[in-house]
Amino acid sequence: MKDKQTNPMALIWEKPTLLEDLAALAGVEIPGEHADAVRGHLATAARMAALVYDAPLADHTLDAAPVFTPADVDHD
Amino acid sequence: MTEPFAAVTDIAEAVGTGASSALSQVESCLARVHELNPVLNCYTEVLAERALSKARQVDAQIAAGETPGTLAGVPFAVKNLFDIAGITTLAGSKINADEPPAIRDALLIQRLEAEGAILLGALAMGEYAYDFTGENQHFGACRNPWDIERMSGGSSSGSGSATAAGLAPFSLGSDTNGSIRVPSSLCGLFGLKPTYGRLPRTGSYPFCDSLDHLGPLARSSADLAVIYDALQGFDSSDHACADKPVMPASARLASGIDTLRIAVADGYFNCDAFPEAAEAVATVASALGAKQKLPLEGAAEGRAAAYLITNSEGAALHRPRLQSRLTDFDNDTRDRFLAGCLIPAAWTLRAQVVRRWWQDHMLEVFKQVDVIVAPCTPCSAPLLGTKVLNVNGEDQPLRPNLGLFTQPFSAIGLPVCSVPLISSHTQLPIGVQLVAPPWREDLCLRAAHALEQQGVVQCGQLTVDSRALETPPLPEP
């Protein structure tokens, strides 16, 4: 995830109204004085997203895994 | 025997044999809470009447010849996200203060009291557990008894501060990304985050369901083990709780480490840039004879996955409050939850896949080793108000990065015991993580016990005298 096409949060700094639009879509309001802090957290999240997208997953691990359970294995 | 730093096992034995009484234990603890809590700010509610009543009940049962429990007469306290009958479950928030009182105690409190332990009160925490610092805009910072101008760590801040200062022989906390281990590290305690699904969360306020764990903080590995044994057992009310047989750890504690294969986490966990953490890891590794270094590739991605899942799940949980009580949040948690509302779902789903991938990798690693030594926090307790941590030459926000090394392991639910050392750089505590395979809490506790027997790790006995302390003002939020 190296560019804006796959990192939409890069735009959040360039288009001031984008944060408001996203917030409206999500059904929350972001007070103006907190907008930059929220942008900062989104930038961190975007860096984390870049990491998970760059993880060298093997094909067999690409199945969706929305529910986490600890491994049910024996360790002797 | 009412020493503030007496071992849980010693208190229970003294009360059980009549050498001491539950009432004297509770009275002693309450007096210390009365003296020191105004300085430390670690209790949010002290349940003196309830504790004294329960103590008399325990003493009466013992006098009547009933078998004392394994925790007979041992006072304890819980992070204020555990339900306590008759008081409101705050979860560190101003918003929850408007909720009605809990109807019954959380299941883990019930289990401890069934063994004779006595609940003293509720403890401070970061708002909605989204915190590693122990600072809280609504209730003030919980102070570190080693230096009251420093952070206790969070989000189980009161659990760390109260247990380290002898205001409770042990406590319960929760750990989503490190919230038992971080305060254990900064306050110099033993902390156990069991396997995800081992202990039922019934009657506790959630943060991030797929990552939330509960566990104890205590002053020795033996204390941790006996408390953990009392906490174990399946409960169908928590969908994540695994229907596994109880696996007592106390009986295995002294089995030694001769047969254990122990290695050191490297790669992402290399902490040469953090001298306090590096020294602590080297000391523990040397004492355990751990020479092999494991690259643990995938840890950074695993940590990133946990970050995204936490942010998304936490925001989803609190969206109704963000809509209706926006100005009543702590600034720091509000802004992070708001950001979490805007994260694309695809990121979170990818994070779940990566989480499974990281888990698969670690299960392969655990075919070769039994215990992994890793740093806990990058540094000893920072000063209250600190906002920045230098990570590999780059200034980054302190708040999320105190969990830099804890987050990858809780991301995949591994059991971890944090053990305390004193840094020669700061003369303050710092922890080291001992990480075991799923469901093998006994292994990390064994390693912790071996280190304790060698004198490599231990809790200090703090002298905190409120009369000598003038509480310094808190920094501006």
- Give residues with Cβ within 8 angstroms of B226, minimum separation 6: B8, B9, B12, B70, B71, B250
Residues B377/B405, Cβ–Cβ less than 8 Å = yes
pLDDT attached to residue B357: 92
Measured CA to CA in angstroms, residue B135 lies from B73, B289, B292 at distances of 32, 38, 38
pLDDT attached to residue B396: 86
Q: Confidence class of residue A14 from pLDDT cuts 50, 70 and 90?
A: confident
Q: Give catalytic residues of B, as residue numbers.
A: 79, 155, 179
In this structure, which amino acid lies at residue B439? W
Chains A and B form CB pairs within 8 A to the count of 136
Contact B347 A45 (CB under 8 A): yes
Put simply, whether the predicted model's pTM sits higher than 0.80 gets the answer yes
pLDDT attached to residue B318: 98
pLDDT attached to residue B1: 65
Q: What angle do CA B145, B172, B150 make, to 5 degrees?
A: 20
Higher pLDDT, residue A75 or A51 = A51
CA gap B222, B427 in Å, rounded:
25
CA gap B405, B329 in Å, rounded:
27
The CA distance from A66 to the nearest CA of chain B, in Å, is 6
Q: Which residues of A touch B438 (CB under 8 A)?
A: 70-73, 75
Q: What angle do CA B195, B374, B217 make, to 5 degrees?
A: 50
Outline where DSSP puts E strands in B67-183.
75-79, 118-123, 143-144, 147-151, 170-175
pLDDT attached to residue A3: 46
Q: Which residues of A touch B371 (CB under 8 A)?
A: none
What SS3 class is residue B260? coil
Structure token digits, residue B222: 């033996």
Measured CA to CA in angstroms, residue B400 lies from A24, B185, B213, B463 at distances of 27, 15, 18, 31
What SS3 class is residue B82? strand
Structure token digits, residue B348: 């979170």
Contact A42 B326 (CB under 8 A): no
What SS3 class is residue B423? coil
pLDDT in tens, A57-76: 877 666 655 555 665 666 66
User: Which of these, B166, B220, B47, B134, lies nearest to B398 by C-alpha position?
Assistant: B134
pLDDT in tens, A27-37: 999 999 999 99
pLDDT attached to residue B467: 47
- Rounded to 5 degrees, φ, ψ at B421 are -130, 170
pLDDT attached to residue A73: 62
Q: Which residues of A touch B339 (CB under 8 A)?
A: 38, 41-42, 45
Please name the residue of chain A whose CA is at the shortest distance from the CA of residue B302.
A52
- Rounded to 5 degrees, φ, ψ at B149 are -95, 5
Task: Provide the ipTM.
Answer: 0.92
Please name the residue of chain A whose CA is at the shortest distance from the CA of residue B195.
A70
Q: Which residues of A touch B267 (CB under 8 A)?
A: none
pLDDT attached to residue A12: 78
Contact B308 A48 (CB under 8 A): yes
CA gap A9, A15 in Å, rounded:
10
- Which segments in chain B show pLDDT lower than 50? 467-468, 477
Residues B413/B302, Cβ–Cβ less than 8 Å = no
CA gap B426, B380 in Å, rounded:
7
Structure token digits, residue B356: 């499974």
pLDDT attached to residue A5: 46
CA gap B130, B118 in Å, rounded:
28
